[in-house]
Amino acid sequence: MKEKMMAVDFGYAFSTPHRLTVALPDSSNKTLLDLNPGFLRMAWTYGNLLDKPLAAFVAPKTDWEVVITPERDGKPFARSSWTRVEGWLPVLENVYEDGAVTIRLEAAGGKTAAIVRVRLENRGQKAHRVMLRCEKPGAWAGVNPAWVQPEWDADVLIAGWMERADRVLLVALGGDEYPVPGATALCPSWDLRPGEKREAWLVRPYHAYQPMLPELRKKNWKAEFKAAKDVWRKLLKRSAKITIPDSAVENAFRACLADCFLMRETVADGTVTASPGTELYRAPNPFEPLLVSILFDQLGLHKEAAGNAEMFLRQQGLDGNWADPEGWAHYMWGSAGIKSWAIMEHFLLTGDRAFLAAAYPRMAASSRWLESQRKRTRKLLKGKRPLSYGLMPRGMGDGGLKNDDDLYGVFLTHNILAVYADDLTVETAKILGKKKELPALRRIHAEALKDLLRALEDGAIVEKDFRWIPGVPGKISGSRWGALYSVFPCRLLPPEHELITGTIRKFEEHLSSGGIPINTGWMKDGMWVAITLDNLAEVLLMRGDGDRAARYLYATLNHGTPLFSWCEERGQEQGAKECSGDRQHLWTPVAVCRFLRDALAMEDGAVLHLARGTARQWLASGKPICAKGLATHFGQLDFEICYDKKTRLVTGSVKLAGGKQNRVVLHLRLPGELKIKSFSCRKDAIVSEACTAVEFLNLNGSVNFTAAMGK
């Protein structure tokens, strides 16, 4: 039976508006573009994070907006669509069509302004009047001077109130006329003759005032628009490259990586770091941003990774509490694990011993503080150990974790991450040769691990024929976010452990019609789509189940918008109106990128797995699967594989520049019953018993190979 091809069609996108934020990388000048059928909302703030408390949940308020509605002959256009320019750039392409008339809006965040290039075309046989009606909602901010006195400027909206009065909100260039139907309307218009094409501009300056209008009108906006796109192209060229025989998936990777830079900006201490969203969550916490640091390191962007993490690593109390006592993540004890994971990955991917040594005192202080808190719960209750014995005391769960109806409680996810932090403290002490401190740190970790493993066993929820890990020991309340961290990245339980199998079964017990687990976050019967990859698919990779993992990748992409953007949580159905959190949330983009990296190259103890989670249709396409410049624990990696349908030969190469002898397992995932019949190369290699993979036993340097496939 022929396997069904998976495709990206955005078939389960949530309801409009669909958001794309435009800006230069690491810029505080961000412009929110919300797409709806028939119109575009442009929104922004003149605020930034320079005056906000570090790592605190205090986001700049979005207090300015303009609604842009294209009209043909006095009526809105019949059809509209939206995508990213070139499929992945954080630059909007918004097309309006009605009969023979088309308006194409392309919006980018430039150096001095958000710029909208307006392209108009009349393919018909008669003339049409076309207008862009740009209106500032509300009567007390946003004024067209020509409404006040007709001889004044008609091509601009100024603030009027709520800002310096003459601040330029929006200026139009290239219109034939500028009718003024209302006090807060800017309406460039054109009379398009048959066959005529025109180009014009809408500009939202970041810092401009009415006396600067002559300068704004003369400026070469086309050059700044082009430069904005070139900045993004040059940035991603510095990253590791992946080639996937599905252009939509490859575009998703690029778009999601770009958004990791889009959601960064300078904070109050002068460092540049990521925030979890572009509006509601435009305020740094250590979780999503440190996942970005890990991704940057994996893609060879080591300087950006270290800088992105810098501020978070300093958020520590004098007592050693690393859960951001002055910030958003206060009482979230798992913060220490996320921070330690980012530190260790940076070391393993760069070999930067100085970075590790500088972080070690914070890691050790954190472990000592965590142990001081666990001692408080090592008390018998009526002569018996309670389920929370030896765990961290009550804290904040977030991620939908709830203790009955209480946001505060003893949460297993945060204990899993906290014990992982202790594990990495011990590992760091060993690497740095801290012999005097090692015994005490090992005792802390061993005791904490013993108590946590007992809590996982005794606090598991028992179903008819399986058990699963809940958010709170012994309780079914709240989400199941983070339970699978116990395998990846935290390595507390083996991938095939009975509790992990049961927890995966519980995750998959209730799937949406689009194939996404529900009850993974805050919303009742809702979906936190990012967790499908971040938790579930990553563990499926560890278990060697690449098929299910790849299906979840496509399901995740299809629950986003055509702009490759995701809200934090949403309802299950296609076009779901129930959405919560930020409209453009960071966790899904970073999860998509990290999953694709791990699907291509994933460390598993002493083994590097290649192509472990590739969709079978990719290799079967006859086009190459390729990764170049990936950083791994074993050195920098380049590899390529390609299948010839006629000869049934897979040819390829692997280059690992680590200077060490390494075990590398290459998976050749093809549809149906195609297996490896023979394998040839000039290195020691063993074909797996299932004839689906090859293990290079002592790989250092380059190897070329050929595999004959057959049934």
Give pLDDT, residue 371. Answer: 98
CA pair distance 518, 572, nearest whole angstrom: 8
Residues 6+ apart with CB under 8 A from 698: 661, 662, 663, 683, 684
Amino acid letter, residue 616:
R
- Residue where the block lists tokens 């054109």: 190
H helices, E strands: number in the chain: 16, 34
Residue 329 is predicted with a pLDDT of 97
Q: Tokens in use for 229?
A: 């796109």
User: Residue 645 is encoded by which pair of tokens?
Assistant: 């349908």
> In the chain, what are the helix, strand and coil shares in percent, each to the nearest 5?
30, 30, 40
∠ Cα 447 452 455 (to 5°) = 130
Crossing angle of helices 335-350 and 412-432, in 10° steps, is 40
CA distance 485 to 490: 6
* Average pLDDT of adjacent 10-residue blocks, the chain of 711 residues: 83 97 98 98 98 97 97 95 98 96 98 98 96 92 96 97 97 98 97 97 98 98 98 98 97 98 98 98 97 98 97 97 97 98 98 98 98 97 95 97 97 98 98 98 98 98 96 96 97 98 96 94 93 97 97 98 98 95 97 98 96 98 97 96 96 89 92 93 90 91 94 88
Peptide bond into 245 cis (omega under 30): no
Q: Token pair of 73, please?
A: 């002959």
The predicted model scores a pTM of 0.97
CA 683 to CA 706: how far, in whole Å? 12
Strands 662-667 and 607-610: parallel
pLDDT at 662 (0 to 100):
85
Q: What is the dihedral of CA 572, 574, 578, 579, to 10 degrees?
A: 90
Q: Locate the DSSP E strands across 463-520.
A: 467-468
Beta bridge partners of 420: none
Q: Which one, of 579, 708, 557, 580, lies nearest residue 646 by Cα?
A: 708
424-462 burial by CB neighbour count: b if 16+ within 10 A, else e?
bbbbbbeeeebeebeeebeebbebbbebbebbbeebbbe
What's the confidence (pLDDT) of residue 1? 45
DSSP three-state, residue 192: strand
CB 459 within 8 A of CB 391: no
**409 phi and psi, to 5 degrees?**
180, -170
Query: Is 243:570 a contact under the CB 8 Å cutoff?
Result: no
Domains of the chain with bracketed CATH:
18-230 (2.70.98), 607-710 (2.60.40)
Q: Which helix (H) or strand (E) holds 370?
A: helix 353-374
Q: How far apart are CA 666 and CA 220, in angstroms?
A: 51
Indicate the length of the chain as a whole number.
Answer: 711
